[in-house]
């Protein structure tokens, strides 16, 4: 249902993250190139050891100069695009979105948490890169080998974790909007579990979608509020990262029309 806007944002994030990491990689190569070497081998000198142990702050600054902070801020701002899309593409039977100032403040608070988590991911990987530099100087390895190790960290860790967190934050934002609407709704609560059905659909989500019947949720993808709460608690671990499915609040009449 919201696949289009999510796919667009994921493609946008991955494209721009690649630009950031490419610029950062070039700065890394300059940093390593400034270390003392003999025939390309990093030497265990006082200057190299000092620079290696002090490299964390330099790495943090280099990452920001490469545009990481701007990317995180732009990602926050793109939540407004999701909200607009949700307003314009409510599915059949869905309760209209409703917001108060308090709701907006809650969503802003969540957005701030997302930004902090992105920075935490980056900080951890800067520590990992610093360790590579320190160990490379102490062990006296080829500078190109050190650079390759750092490339692997950027590709396998920072890129992968940042992308995973971005994808997860989009789904969490959509669900938060739905739950905010619930808090403003007066009446009995009913839900429909929605999202794509393909080879990537997880077992828990197949149950939620009603593809694989489960006696605990006999009317899936339609849920009472009690069933939703139970399902959320039971499948939280399975759906923690990269989940593309959400509970959409639906009108009681729509629920009863679809549950016989």
Kindly give the residue spans of alpha helices, DSSP state H, lying in the chain: 3-33, 46-53, 55-65, 68-77, 79-88, 101-139, 143-153, 160-184, 203-208, 225-235, 252-258
Supply the pLDDT for residue 208.
96
Residue 103 has pLDDT above 80, yes or no: no
Q: Mean pLDDT in the chain?
A: 93
CA distance 136 to 257: 66
Q: What is the pTM of this model?
A: 0.88
CA distance 3 to 244: 8
Supply the pLDDT for residue 102.
73
Supply the pLDDT for residue 251.
95
| 196-241 residue pLDDT tens | 899 989 999 999 999 999 999 999 999 999 999 999 999 998 888 8
CA distance 187 to 96: 13
Supply the pLDDT for residue 137.
97
Mean per-residue pLDDT, 94-117: 82
Supply the pLDDT for residue 135.
97
Contacts of 86 (CB under 8 A, 6+ apart): 2, 97, 174, 177
CA distance 109 to 100: 14
| 56-88 residue pLDDT tens | 999 999 999 999 999 999 999 999 999 899 989
What percent of the chain has a predicted confidence (pLDDT) above 70? 100
Strand partners, 190: 224, 250
| 18-46 residue pLDDT tens | 999 999 999 999 999 999 999 999 999 99
Contact (Cβ atoms closer than 8 angstroms) between residue 52 and residue 99: no
More confident site: 51 or 97: 51
The 10 Å Cβ neighbour count of residue 164 is 13
More confident site: 109 or 52: 52
Supply the pLDDT for residue 259.
93
Supply the pLDDT for residue 131.
97
Torsional class of 130: left (φ above 0), alpha (ψ -120 to 50), beta (otherwise): alpha
Supply the pLDDT for residue 201.
92
Supply the pLDDT for residue 25.
97
Mean per-residue pLDDT, 11-23: 97
CA distance 254 to 250: 7
| Residue 209, helix vs strand vs coil | coil
Supply the pLDDT for residue 2.
84
CA distance 121 to 158: 7
Contact (Cβ atoms closer than 8 angstroms) between residue 147 and residue 28: yes
| 141-187 residue pLDDT tens | 999 999 999 999 999 999 999 999 999 999 889 998 888 888 878 88
CA 233 to chain CA centroid, nearest Å: 21
């Amino acid at each position: 249902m919201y696949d289009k806007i999510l796919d667009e944002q994921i493609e946008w994030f991955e494209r721009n993250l690649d630009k950031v990491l490419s610029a950062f990689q070039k700065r890394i190569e300059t940093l390593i190139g400034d270390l003392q070497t003999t025939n390309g081998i990093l030497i265990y000198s006082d200057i190299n050891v000092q620079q290696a142990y002090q490299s964390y702050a330099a790495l943090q600054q280099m990452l920001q100069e490469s545009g990481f902070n701007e990317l995180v801020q732009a990602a926050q701002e793109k939540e407004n695009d999701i909200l607009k899309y949700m307003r314009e593409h409510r599915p059949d039977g869905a309760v209209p979105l409703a917001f108060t100032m308090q709701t907006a403040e809650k969503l802003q608070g969540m957005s701030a948490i997302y930004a902090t988590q992105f920075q935490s991911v980056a900080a951890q990987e800067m520590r990992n890169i610093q360790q590579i530099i320190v160990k490379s100087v102490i062990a006296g390895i080829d500078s190109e080998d050190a650079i390759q190790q750092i490339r692997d960290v950027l590709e396998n860790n920072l890129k992968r974790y940042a992308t995973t967190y971005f994808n997860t934050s989009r789904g969490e934002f959509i669900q938060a909007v739905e739950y905010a609407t619930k808090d403003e709704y007066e009446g009995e609560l009913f839900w429909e579990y929605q999202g794509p059905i393909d080879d990537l659909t997880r077992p828990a989500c197949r149950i939620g979608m009603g593809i694989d019947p489960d006696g605990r949720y006999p009317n899936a993808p339609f849920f009472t509020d009690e069933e939703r709460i139970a399902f959320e608690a039971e499948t939280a671990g399975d759906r923690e990262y990269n989940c593309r499915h959400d509970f959409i609040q639906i009108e009681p009449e729509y629920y009863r029309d679809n549950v016989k």
